[in-house]
Amino acid sequence: MNRIKEVLEERGIKQTWLAERLGKSFCIVNSYVCNRRQPSLDVLFEIAKILNVDPKELIESHER
């Protein structure tokens, strides 16, 4: 499971914006956001770079 959806919502960023920056279709990004599909590590690191977050923030739960 990833936290891409939560990070996008926290920052007020739309999935379409992320899809454009990644060079991927909205459908692919939506499948990452909805956890129907997990991004490769390379893509996960690219998403983290685009969102200016530590990659761990995209995969760790803050509920502890």
Is the pTM above the cut of 0.85?
yes
What pLDDT does residue 28 have? Answer: 98
Rounded Cα distance, 12 and 5, in Å: 10
- Highest CATH level, class, for 4-55: mainly alpha
CB atoms within 10 A of CB 4: 26
Query: What's the pLDDT tens digit per position in 20-32?
Result: 999 999 999 999 9
> DSSP label at 23?
T
Q: Extract the residue ranges of the chain whose pLDDT is less than 50.
A: 64
Structure token digits, residue 10: 């926290």
What pLDDT does residue 63 have? Answer: 59
Rounded Cα distance, 6 and 4, in Å: 6
Break the chain into its structural domains and give their ranges.
4-55
What pLDDT does residue 37 have? Answer: 96
What pLDDT does residue 60 have? Answer: 73
